[in-house]
Structure 1
């Protein structure tokens, strides 16, 4: 049986912490920044953690070997 492949879109969008939680880039900073406040833009830097129910789905369906 061949190896199962990781979804390429998922490997570009998600990463894992050392304890196995799923991180993602923050949303809302691709375009249309003129309508957003400076406070919002400052708070949207870096990464944040995915909610636990969603993290389970991401790990199970998109990363077959990342447990």
Structure 2
């Protein structure tokens, strides 16, 4: 059976923590900052931990090698 490949798009967007959770960047921060509330911009800085349901799917289909 051939090796499972990691999706290169997911490789650039997600990272796994030591405990196996998936870290991701927060959406809606690329452009158009003036029209967004300051509170939203503040809360969306840095990275976040993905929800467990989405993380399971990402690990199974996009990052199979961990």
Same fold (TM over 0.5): yes
Gaps of 5+ in 2: none
Which structure has the higher relative contact order (CA within 8 Å, separation 6+)?
2
CA distance in 2, matches of 1:41, 1:18: 28
Could you list the structure 1 runs, at least 4 aligned residues long, displaced by more than 6 angstroms after superposition: none
Where in structure 1 are there 5+ consecutive unaligned residues?
Answer: none
- Residue 15 of structure 1 is matched in structure 2 by 15
Question: What is the alpha-carbon distance in structure 2 between the residues aligned to residue 51 and residue 43 of structure 1?
Answer: 16
Q: TM-score, normalised by structure 1?
A: 0.88
Range 18-27 or range 36-45, more displaced: 36-45
CA distance in 2, matches of 1:41, 1:14: 21
What TM-score do you get using the length of structure 2 for normalisation?
A: 0.90
